[in-house]
């Protein structure tokens, strides 16, 4: 019997779902190298490889066989060949630009454990999809809003969430649509550097975000009385501002967010919140030229920078802080542990901390990005994280976020949705 790769699900799975990988038809205790490859929409190549030894029966199941030293990872890591994918181009991050098409994953099995691949023994392809069958993708151009709404299959109404990314700008949709696969109506909202929105991050007007909140609250497919907010990085402090000043927000989940306004002036009616001060002299640069900017922001609890602190004690919602304890973008844990809420008699926020997780806590199985170009700094910066711990954090945080929104937006514990 010739060697072959066995995958479950066989041909297609959702990107945030586990993929079972096995090889059959090998010789007893045969040594092989497994390699995965994936190209993003710009054509950049990501690869991972691991060394294995088949069992006495010639079978190799990644759920039971540990990877041997010498590859991208070692030990028992059933999903290692996905989370360990690394770009061949330095400082390149894996993102999904068009959620309507899947990523195509190539798997190859080579003879032996050499530095160069031996004879090709077997290969397979697998689609990693972002949209579950029946999820509707609705471009939204109402008033000033530039967004995409993802609606789960069925009649609704569904619990509603607004999803905001950070300083990269544009309109990333992949986290919103993966969340919609789990039964939420999610609005991926652009706020700059997209279509006719402002090109740069000079100032933001909260009225724009208020328009998006009202759009969701008035939508016939959205279950009221309030909605949720999900924000990462700069999107996180915008969510803190929305929760503090706007009506109709029930639950706010923040991934490595600041509780001070960062990077741009924020206006709302007659209120202006300046951005927190920075000192680029506090940047540390590694021998390889990568900037570590963790100390660049001033402390929002001291001096004039207190004006940049967002008055989150005004918020009438529940908070969940997801914290990577190795975040090198800023001091996420310090921000999350602020006493402002409890001092005002508010419900204590839920805080989930992950040692070894960096700044970019993405949906499950996105490879960790250790460093990439920072638009505001203009050079590659270190995001932090240790790949295995970071990957485990992403899997757990995804469950925490869904459970939080199920609890506060539906009043029910989360259910495990059916497969693709």
Does a structural domain hold residue 419?
A: no
Q: Are 247 and 206 spatial neighbours (Cβ–Cβ below 8 Å)?
A: no
Question: What amino acid positions are annotated as catalytic residues?
Answer: 233, 327, 359
- The helix/strand/coil state of 309 is strand
Of the CA atoms within 13 Å of residue 89, those in its CB half-sphere come to: 13
Q: Which residue has the tokens 């542990």?
A: 337
- Per-residue pLDDT band at 18 (split at 50, 70, 90): very high
What is the H or E stretch that residue 402 is in?
A: helix 387-405
The CA distance from 42 to 166, in Å, is: 21
With the CA atoms of 126, 66, 69 and 29 taken in that order, what torsion angle do they form, in degrees rounded to the nearest 10? Answer: -90
The CA distance from 312 to 245, in Å, is: 8
Q: Are 32 and 42 spatial neighbours (Cβ–Cβ below 8 Å)?
A: no
Alpha-carbon torsion (361, 367, 370, 373), positive or negative: negative
Q: Please give the structure tokens belonging to residue 240.
A: 């803190």
Above pLDDT 90, what percent of the chain? 90
The CA distance from 300 to 337, in Å, is: 13
What is the pLDDT at residue 419? Answer: 43
Does a structural domain hold residue 417?
A: no
| Per-residue pLDDT at 347 exceeds 70 | yes
Same domain assignment for residues 53 and 147 = no
The CA distance from 399 to 404, in Å, is: 9
Does a structural domain hold residue 416?
A: no
Same domain assignment for residues 114 and 151 = no
Does a structural domain hold residue 241?
A: yes
Q: Are 51 and 69 spatial neighbours (Cβ–Cβ below 8 Å)?
A: yes
Q: Over the stretch 64-118, which tens digit does the pLDDT of each residue have?
A: 999 999 999 999 999 999 999 999 999 999 999 999 999 999 999 999 999 898 9
Alpha-carbon torsion (311, 263, 387, 382), positive or negative: negative
CA dist list (Å): 82 to 16, 50, 68, 106: 11, 11, 17, 11
Q: Are 191 and 124 spatial neighbours (Cβ–Cβ below 8 Å)?
A: no
Least confident interval from 42-46, 86-90, 414-418: 414-418
Does a structural domain hold residue 38?
A: yes
Highest mean pLDDT, choosing among 175-189, 274-288, 335-349: 175-189
Same domain assignment for residues 63 and 146 = no
Number of domains, the chain: 2
Same domain assignment for residues 44 and 160 = no
Same domain assignment for residues 86 and 148 = no
Q: Over the stretch 236-282, which tens digit does the pLDDT of each residue have?
A: 999 999 999 999 999 999 999 999 999 999 999 999 999 999 999 99
Does a structural domain hold residue 283?
A: yes
Does a structural domain hold residue 10?
A: yes
pTM score over 0.75:
yes
Does a structural domain hold residue 415?
A: no
How many CB atoms within 10 Å of residue 2?
8
- Per-residue pLDDT band at 418 (split at 50, 70, 90): very low
User: Rounded to a whole number, what is the distance in angstroms from the first to the last CA of the chain?
Assistant: 31
- The helix/strand/coil state of 125 is strand
- Per-residue pLDDT band at 375 (split at 50, 70, 90): confident
DSSP assignment of 72-109 equals: S--BS-TTHHHHT-EESSTT-----S-TTS-EEEEEEE
The CA distance from 254 to 417, in Å, is: 23
- Helices 234-245 and 206-218, packing angle to 10 deg: 70
The CA distance from 259 to 338, in Å, is: 8
CATH number at residue 105: 2.60.40.2240
Same domain assignment for residues 214 and 339 = yes
Mean pLDDT of the residues in the chain: 95
Same domain assignment for residues 316 and 385 = yes
The CA distance from 345 to 409, in Å, is: 22
With the CA atoms of 12, 14, 15 and 21 taken in that order, what torsion angle do they form, in degrees rounded to the nearest 10? Answer: -50
The CA distance from 396 to 390, in Å, is: 10
CATH number at residue 337: 3.40.50.1820
Q: Over the stretch 26-37, which tens digit does the pLDDT of each residue have?
A: 999 999 999 999
Same domain assignment for residues 120 and 225 = no
What is the pLDDT at residue 420? Answer: 46
Q: Which domain range does residue 199 map to?
A: 136-410
- Which of 110, 129, 148 is the endpoint of a domain? 129
The CA distance from 331 to 351, in Å, is: 14
Same domain assignment for residues 297 and 379 = yes
Same domain assignment for residues 71 and 48 = yes
Same domain assignment for residues 206 and 340 = yes
Same domain assignment for residues 167 and 152 = yes
Least confident interval from 242-246, 402-406, 416-420: 416-420
Q: Please give the structure tokens belonging to residue 345.
A: 């008699």
């Amino acid at each position: 019997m010739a060697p072959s790769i066995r995958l479950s699900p066989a041909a297609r799975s959702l990107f945030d779902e586990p993929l079972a990988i096995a090889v059959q038809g090998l010789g007893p205790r045969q040594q092989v190298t497994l390699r995965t490859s994936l190209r993003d929409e710009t054509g950049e190549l990501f690869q991972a490889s691991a060394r294995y030894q088949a069992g006495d029966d010639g079978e190799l199941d990644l759920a039971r066989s540990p990877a041997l030293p010498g590859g991208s990872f070692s030990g028992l890591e059933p999903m290692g060949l996905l989370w360990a994918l690394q770009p061949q181009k330095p400082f390149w991050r894996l993102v999904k630009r068009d959620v309507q098409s899947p990523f195509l994953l190539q798997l190859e099995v080579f003879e032996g454990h050499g530095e160069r691949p031996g004879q090709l023994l077997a290969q397979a392809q697998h689609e990693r999809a972002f949209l579950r069958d029946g999820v509707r993708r609705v471009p939204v151009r109402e008033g000033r809003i530039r967004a995409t709404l993802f609606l789960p299959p069925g009649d609704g109404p569904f619990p509603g969430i607004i999803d905001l990314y950070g300083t990269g700008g544009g309109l990333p949709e992949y986290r919103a649509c993966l969340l919609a696969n789990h039964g939420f109506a999610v609005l991926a909202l652009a706020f700059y550097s997209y279509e006719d929105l402002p090109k740069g991050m000079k100032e933001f007007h909260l009225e724009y975000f208020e328009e998006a909140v009202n759009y969701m609250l008035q939508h016939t497919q959205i279950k009221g009385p309030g909605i949720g907010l999900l924000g990462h990085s700069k999107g996180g402090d915008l969510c803190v501002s929305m929760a503090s000043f706007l009506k109709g927000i029930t639950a706010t989940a923040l991934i490595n967010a600041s509780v001070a306004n960062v990077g741009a002036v924020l206006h709302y009616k007659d209120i202006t919140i300046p951005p927190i001060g920075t000192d680029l002299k506090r940047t540390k640069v590694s021998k390889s030229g990568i900037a570590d900017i963790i100390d660049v922001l001033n402390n929002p609890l001291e001096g004039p920078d207190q004006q940049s602190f967002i008055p989150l004690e005004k918020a009438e919602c529940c908070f969940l802080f997801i914290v990577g304890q190795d975040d090198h973008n800023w001091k996420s844990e310090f921000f999350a542990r602020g006493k402002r809420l409890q001092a005002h008699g508010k419900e204590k926020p839920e805080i989930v901390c992950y040692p070894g997780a960096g700044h970019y806590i993405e949906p499950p199985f996105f490879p960790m990005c250790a460093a990439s170009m920072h638009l505001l700094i203009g050079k590659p910066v270190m995001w932090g994280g240790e790949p295995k711990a970071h990957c485990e954090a992403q899997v757990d945080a995804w469950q925490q976020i869904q459970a939080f929104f199920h609890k506060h937006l539906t009043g029910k514990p989360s259910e495990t949705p059916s497969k693709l």
